[in-house]
Structure 1
């Protein structure tokens, strides 16, 4: 079977950036994407999320990002990605859902159903969208109302006339409360008191990325960059603030058929629980490579997996943001080229 120099798994921002830089370096590779169409996770975002509402989309290499508008992000960004793939003739194959990656002598074998690709190196760019995280609480299965994660959020009008409990202390919870509060009654609970900031400066972002980088360097499970930067309200969330949507309650102790109850006996009746509780890295297919450290995360040196230098991870930890994903794509391509030098000699 033909042996490739590299395989990229995932065609979101990190995967496209990696493929672009691999192509420029003359590295023979394919990009395996599980989705039937271009767009990465953006094609699955809710319809009411406009380009003005997104927290920022970084430029791709040699391609400025679409700027803010009222058009839905799930239309604009996928169209931009599709044009980018065509213009740069990136070798994307889809739909290909990778089941596992294993080691075979000096090569890596990427398996997807009946198909397999043998490669000298791997760039994993699978992100987090396919692994929404919902914590478990006593009584959760008894709740008689609707429970859903933000990955399945259908837009604010779906909840009109129902009391919605939003769970989570991140930027997505703030944004969804901004949409929901003007059309229905909301409650907000978080595990920790939110940290509010007046503005987000570039140095705040660099400091946050450095903290996340330190975690993955030590082999700890990554935190999102947003989780260490603090929260701030945008103009479009002013009405929700006026309505009191951001008066936070502490985390409840259990869930009951008609609502939630705190440890002190207080209870609130709710019709919907919306879990804005984030995502986990989609790296289960890499399990046969035994990359995880004893601390539970994948230890990285830059983008390189310390346990197996043939493997690069982009869109993981500090490169989970779109800006970080672009930088990681360049770094991963450089590391791949370095790893291939002995084979070329």
Structure 2
């Protein structure tokens, strides 16, 4: 059965909900199709100790401030899930959970969105599927020979799963640093932290509030034709949240250069020495989950979909939201997705009218 609507939003996490809020304000008919069976987006799949970088009042979607969490300056992932659940309910956003979108394709003046529950015929599509469902694993020599357990950030939950084991955490970003700190502070795990380059910690007084201000200043500079400030990347890679500071100050976060290759029982360093490991946690990032857009044939030679803001250059009826700076500065954050969501909804409304 084919159903009709003005706009289909693919993905019901924070970006999809922000899009829904602004589409409602534009008076458009829309539906949000989300693969997860419950609200909360990727936050419901995070590890147990994860907290936001910013206080609640600086971590809000448009129209609704996130309430503070009792006893916590920086809310945990469960609090974010509760907030997104309430946000969806408060604005009565038409989210169909447990719906997997398989393809978006052209059909004359409309776009067809094929899902496992049926097909939608829409005048425009906003893709907001994020990256969590597409973890990236690097092609490290010997990876297939390692006999221990290998998992990605998406699979990590708590140190209890690795009690008494030797674990190597690979990755010098925020996820790798936080997971290495989580394991090291627990005391039951022998942790090796390996990074491709020396880790760069931000100053201890910098959190998500400052990072958003820096990203906003860079966007304004670029829009006004001024010199690129470099944005957040110019300051460092790692936000020193309290657990990271505690592990660092206790001497538990000493990064080693990335190993040369994996072996059946562990890894070999560049100098030829070897170490054993029971498990490897790859905190090596993600790629945009865009397989559903393949029928539109929009990727360039780098596998990227060129955009003007959020609008796909090769298909003006398609907007991409929440994948990172290439679809809007800080658009992969709670507080940062509001502006590009507003712009996308406005442009869709102008297109339809």
Q: CA deviation at 1:227?
A: 9.6
Q: CA deviation at 1:211?
A: 7.5
**Aligned match of 1:174:** 177
Q: CA deviation at 1:111?
A: 0.2
CA–CA distance in structure 2, aligned partners of residues 187 and 70 of structure 1 = 32
* 1:138 counterpart = 2:141: yes
**Aligned match of 1:86:** 89
How does the TM-score come out when normalised to structure 2? 0.85
Q: CA deviation at 1:288?
A: 0.8
**Aligned match of 1:218:** none
**Aligned match of 2:10:** 9
* 1:20 counterpart = 2:38: no
* 1:268 counterpart = 2:266: no
Q: Kindly indicate whether the alpha-carbon contact (under 8 Å) linking 1:45 and 1:151 is maintained by their aligned counterparts in 2.
A: yes
Instruction: Pick closer, same or farther for the CA change 1:63–1:169 going to 2, 3 Å.
Output: same
- Which of 192, 195, 208 lines up with 2:197 in the alignment? 192
SS of structure 1 residue aligned to 2:316: coil
Alignment deviations for residues 67-98 of structure 1 (CA, whole Å, 9 cap, x no partner):
34568844322222222222211111121100
Map residues 322-341 of structure 1 onto 2, 5 A cutoff.
322-341=334-353
Structure 2 regions of 5+ residues with no counterpart? 222-230, 326-330
Q: Kindly indicate whether the alpha-carbon contact (under 8 Å) linking 2:214 and 2:232 is maintained by their aligned counterparts in 1.
A: no
User: Aligned-residue CA RMSD in angstroms?
Assistant: 2.6
Q: CA deviation at 1:39?
A: 0.8
Alignment deviations for residues 151-171 of structure 1 (CA, whole Å, 9 cap, x no partner):
011201221221211100100
Q: CA deviation at 1:306?
A: 1.0
**Aligned match of 1:151:** 154
Q: Once superposed, which parts of structure 1, at least 4 consecutive aligned residues long, lie more than 4 Å away?
A: 68-72, 201-214, 224-229
CA–CA distance in structure 1, aligned partners of residues 239 and 92 of structure 2 = 40
CA–CA distance in structure 1, aligned partners of residues 233 and 191 of structure 2 = 23
Q: Kindly indicate whether the alpha-carbon contact (under 8 Å) linking 1:225 and 1:317 is maintained by their aligned counterparts in 2.
A: no
Instruction: Pick closer, same or farther for the CA change 1:228–1:242 going to 2, 3 Å.
Output: closer
CA–CA distance in structure 2, aligned partners of residues 41 and 80 of structure 1 = 13
CA–CA distance in structure 2, aligned partners of residues 253 and 161 of structure 1 = 25
Q: Kindly indicate whether the alpha-carbon contact (under 8 Å) linking 2:11 and 2:32 is maintained by their aligned counterparts in 1.
A: yes
Instruction: Pick closer, same or farther for the CA change 1:135–1:70 going to 2, 3 Å.
Output: farther
SS of structure 1 residue aligned to 2:352: helix
Structure 1 regions of 5+ residues with no counterpart? 215-223
Range moving further from structure 2, 63-72 or 14-23? 63-72
Q: Kindly indicate whether the alpha-carbon contact (under 8 Å) linking 2:37 and 2:98 is maintained by their aligned counterparts in 1.
A: yes
SS of structure 1 residue aligned to 2:22: helix
- Which of 276, 279, 286 lines up with 1:279 in the alignment? 286
